[in-house]
Amino acid sequence: MSENIRKPHIVVINHQAANIHSVGKALERSGAEVEITDSAESLMAADGAVLPGVGAMDAAMRALEELKLIEPIREYAGSGRPMLSVCLGMQLLFPESDEGERSGLGLVDGHVARFDVDEPSEDGSRLKVPHMGWNAITFTEPNQDRHPVFRGIPDGSYFYFVHSFHCMPNDSQDVVATTAYGGPVCAAVARGELVATQFHPEKSADMGLKIYENFVRHVAETVASRVA
C-alpha cells in the first residue's frame, strides 16, 4: 500500500457467530485500522466492512436482528463502499436457505442449498457433509478482469472450507470462483463492491492473507479516489 494512502478503517461485524479475532488479526497484519463492533453507527462510519460467520443461518440472522444490524448492513452494502463476507457471512447475503426458516439479507439473488449426500464424490463414495478441508479454486475470469480482491491469486490455489450448505446465485455473472465437491460449487461471488468467499481466507495460509491484503488495499484506494 502506498505511503500516500492512509490506513483504511475497517469494521468487523461482531454478531457473536464468527471467528472475529482471527479475521481482525489478518486485517491488521494487512495494514488496516480494525474495529470489531456490533454498532450500526460504527459500521456506517467505516471505510470498509467484513461480515464473517460460522454456524447456522437462522441463529446469525436472529443475532443481527437483535443487534438491529440488518438494515444498516443492507444500507452499507448499497453505499458503494467495499464489503467482504466470509463463509456463513457469504450465505447470509442470499434471501433464503435450505438450512432454516429465516430470510437472509437478500443482497445477492439466489438461494443456499444443502449438499446432496447421495451425490457421488470423485472416487465414487458419497459426499461427506460438512465439506471440510483444503480445496482448489478455479476463477471464472482471467486475472486482469477479476475484482481487485482476487487479483494475483493463481488458479488452482488451495483454500480452507468448512460448510454443509453452498450458495447458488441466480446470475452466473455473480460467481467469480468455483471449487469441486460433487460437481462445481460456488466458492466466491462479487457484485459491485460486495465480495464474498465460502472458504476462510484467515485459515488459508499465504493465499488467504493475500485476499485480505488485496481487500485492505482496495478499501484504501477507494477512500483515496473519493477524496481526490
C-alpha cell at 107: 443482497
Which residue matches cell numbers 462510519? 45
Indicate which residue of 87, 147, 166, 167 is catalytic: 87
* Nearest alpha carbon to residue 133 among 181, 86, 185: 181
Indicate which residue of 9, 131, 166, 200 is catalytic: 200
Rounded Cα distance between 38 and 72, Å, is 11
Rounded Cα distance between 189 and 162, Å, is 17
Give yes or no: 87 in active site: yes
Rounded Cα distance between 155 and 141, Å, is 10
Give yes or no: 9 in active site: no
Indicate which residue of 99, 202, 213, 218 is catalytic: 202
- Residue 162, classified by CB atoms within 10 Å of its CB into exposed (0-12), middle (13-18) or buried (19+), is middle
Rounded Cα distance between 22 and 151, Å, is 22
Rounded Cα distance between 63 and 65, Å, is 5
Give yes or no: 202 in active site: yes
Torsion of CA 195, 198, 199, 201, to 10 degrees: 20
- Residue 225, classified by CB atoms within 10 Å of its CB into exposed (0-12), middle (13-18) or buried (19+), is exposed
Beta bridge partners of 191: 194
- State the catalytic residues: 87, 200, 202
